[in-house]
Structure 1
Amino acid sequence: MNKEIIKFSILFIVLLLVQVMICNHIAIFNVAVPLIFIYFIIRLPIDIGKGVLFTLAFIMGLCVDVFSDTPGLNSLACTMLAAFKDPIYYAYIPKDDKTKYLTPSISSLGVAIYCKYLVSMVGIYCVMIFSIEYFNFADFKDILLLSVSSCLLTFLMLLAIDSLIIRKS
C-alpha cells in the first residue's frame, strides 16, 4: 500500500511539473494543447474511494490552476472528470469482482479497451475545459476545433506515457 502511495505521489509531482513547465507553453498551430496532467486522474485505481478520488482530482486541478493562472478552470474540469471516471470505465468493462481492483493501463485492460477508455476520458476533459473557458456556445466551431485537436494530441502523448511506464515496471 505504501509503495502505491509513493508511486502515485511521484506521478502527481512529475506530471504537474511537466505540465506547467513544458506543456503549458506548447500550442501546435495555436489549437492543439497537450493536457498530460489528467493522466494522474485516469491512472488512479478504480477501487479508490470517491472522496479520495474527488479530493486528488481537485488538488491536481488546483495546482495546475495556480501555476497556469487559470482561476478554477482546471480544478472544476478535473473534479468533473473524476465524476465520469467510473461510468466511462464500466461502459467498456463488465462490472464484476475481477475488474473492481484494476488500475487502468494498457497491460491491465488490453490495447483496444484502454484506447477507448483513454480517448473517452480525454475527450470529455477537453470538451469540458474549453467549454468552461469560452463559457458560451457562440464560438462552437472554436470549441470543437480546440477540443478535437487537443484530444488527439493529449491521447497520443498519454498513450506514449503509459507505454513507457508499463515498459519500465
Structure 2
Amino acid sequence: MEITLNDLTINPEGIDIDELLNDWAWAMPEPMRPVLLTALGDLFAQGESGAVYFIDVIEGDIRPVAEDGSTFEELLSDTEFVTDHLFPARVVELRDAGIELEANQVYSHQQPLVLGGSDELENYETSEVSVYISILGQIHEQVKDLPEGTVISDVEIEDIE
C-alpha cells in the first residue's frame, strides 16, 4: 500500500487551531501555533522564534525539530524523519484493521499509555482531535511530577468522542 503525507496527517479545516494547544501551555518553551497535525494525534508547532517543535502527546513532551519553517519542510521529505515522527507503519496497520478516520479525527488510545494502556491495536480508536489533544495535555500536566514507575490507579477513561 502506497502511503502519502496526506495519509499521515489530518486536514485542520474546522479545527480551532488557536485553541488547540491551550492544555499544553505548561510544557511550551515559548508561545507556539500548530502547523501540522498527525493522524496519530501528535503535532508540529512553530514558536514565535520561528523554531518548529514536535509535540508528542503520548510521551507528554515538546522538543525542537527544526530552526525554522523551511528547514521543517525539508525534513518532511526525509524518510527517517517521517518514520520517526509520523509512524506510517502504524497508520497502515490501523487502516488494515478497518479503523478509518473521519474529518477532524485522529487515531487515539482508548486507555492512554501514560495511564497504563497498551500500544496494541486493540487499544486504538478514533477521537475528535481537539478533545484528544486537550485531554492528554491535562493528563500529562497532572502526572509530570510523579516519580518514574508510579502506579496510577482508580482511573476511569470515558469515551472522548
When normalised by structure 1's length, the TM-score is 0.31
TM, length-normalised to structure 2:
0.32
Identify the structure with the greater strand proportion. 2
